[in-house]
C-alpha cells in the first residue's frame, strides 16, 4: 500500500508508522500477533529498509510493538500502557522545572471526576474487583509491597470503570510519575489503615451508584494524601520532577 503523494513531504517514517497502526486496527491484530515479514512490509508500503526500521523503532518506543531478534522473531503487537505517556509527561515537566506538587494537584481535579462517572458506569465485575482490593489491603495491612500494589489497582479499576479511556491512561501515567517509592515517601501502618478506610468509603459510594458521594469521598481521599506528603515531605513535594 503506497502512501498518498500529497503526504510525501512529511516525515516518511512517521507516516509509515501511522499507516502500520491503522493496518493493525483494520486487521484486528492484538497483543502477541506478529506483523508481516520485513520483505512483505517493504513491498506493501513501497519504502526502503531504513525507513521501515525507523518506523518500527518508533512504534517500539511507544510500546505498541516489541522487536524480537533471531529466527521466528520480528515485530510483535503489544498492548501499550501508561509508561510511554508518563515518560513524555515527565520529560515535559522536567524541562519546565515543575514540582511534584503539580501532579498531586492534577489528581485532585481528575480523580473526583473519574469517580463521578464511574458511579453510573461501573460493572458488577469491577465492583467485585474493588471490594477484593480493599479486603486484600486490609488483610495484608503490614505488607508495604501489597499495600502499594493494591493501592494502584484500586485507582486503576475506577479509572477503567469511568468508561473514559483518557482517564485510564492519565491515571496510569500520573501514578507512574508520582511513585512514592521513587520519591522516598513511606507509609507507616497507621497511615495505611487510613487509606484502607478511604478506599472502603469510595467503594461503598460506588456500590450505591451515588455520583456525588463517589466524587466527594475521592476528593477527600486525594486531599488527605496531599496533606500527608505536604506535611511529612515538604521538600520532596516541591522538588522538580525528574526522569529517573
Superfamily covering domain 83-237: GntR ligand-binding domain-like (1.20.120.530)
Only one residue has cell 451515588, namely 210
Q: Say how far apart CA 229 and CA 233 lie, in whole Å.
A: 5
Give pLDDT, residue 1: 52
Give pLDDT, residue 182: 60
Which residue spans of the chain are classified as CATH 1.10.10.10? Answer: 5-77
Nearest Cα to Cα of residue 37 among 77, 72, 66: 72
CB atoms under 10 Å from CB of 154, counted, come to 24
Give pLDDT, residue 83: 75
Inter-residue contact 144 to 187 (CB < 8 Å): yes
From the options 3.40.50.1360, 3.40.50.720, 1.10.10.10, 3.40.1010.20, give the CATH code of 5-77.
1.10.10.10
Inter-residue contact 86 to 177 (CB < 8 Å): yes
Inter-residue contact 82 to 172 (CB < 8 Å): yes
**What pTM value is reported for the model?**
0.77
Residues 45, 50, 55, 59, CA torsion sign? positive
> What 3-state DSSP class applies to 34?
strand
Residues 164, 165, 171, 177, CA torsion sign? negative
Which residue spans of the chain are classified as CATH 1.20.120.530? Answer: 83-237
> What is the mean pLDDT, run by run of 10 residues, along the chain of 244 residues?
49 93 93 92 94 93 87 84 81 93 92 97 98 96 92 94 93 80 78 96 98 98 93 90 82
Amino acid at each position: 500500500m503506497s502512501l498518498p503523494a500529497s503526504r510525501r513531504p512529511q516525515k516518511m517514517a512517521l507516516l509509515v508508522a501511522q499507516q502500520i497502526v491503522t493496518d493493525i486496527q483494520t486487521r484486528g491484530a492484538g497483543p502477541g500477533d506478529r506483523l508481516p515479514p520485513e520483505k512483505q512490509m517493504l513491498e506493501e508500503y513501497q519504502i526502503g529498509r531504513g525507513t521501515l526500521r525507523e518506523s518500527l523503532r518508533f512504534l517500539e518506543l511507544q510500546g505498541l510493538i516489541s522487536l524480537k531478534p533471531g529466527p521466528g522473531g520480528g515485530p510483535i503487537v503489544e498492548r501499550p500502557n501508561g509508561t510511554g505517556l508518563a515518560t513524555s509527561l515527565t520529560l515535559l515537566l522536567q524541562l519546565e522545572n515543575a514540582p511534584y506538587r503539580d501532579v498531586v494537584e492534577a489528581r485532585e481535579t481528575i480523580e473526583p471526576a473519574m469517580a463521578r462517572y464511574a458511579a453510573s458506569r461501573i460493572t458488577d465485575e469491577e465492583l467485585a474487583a474493588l471490594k477484593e482490593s480493599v479486603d486484600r489491603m486490609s488483610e495484608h495491612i503490614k505488607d508495604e509491597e501489597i499495600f502499594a500494589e493494591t493501592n494502584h489497582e484500586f485507582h486503576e479499576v475506577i479509572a477503567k470503570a469511568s468508561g473514559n479511556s483518557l482517564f485510564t491512561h492519565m491515571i496510569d501515567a500520573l501514578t507512574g510519575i508520582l511513585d512514592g517509592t521513587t520519591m522516598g515517601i513511606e507509609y507507616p501502618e497507621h497511615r495505611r489503615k487510613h487509606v484502607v478506610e478511604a478506599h472502603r468509603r469510595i467503594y461503598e459510594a460506588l456500590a450505591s451508584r451515588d455520583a456525588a458521594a463517589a466524587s466527594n469521598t475521592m476528593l477527600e481521599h486525594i486531599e488527605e494524601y496531599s496533606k500527608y506528603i505536604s506535611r511529612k515531605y515538604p521538600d520532596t513535594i516541591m522538588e522538580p520532577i525528574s526522569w529517573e
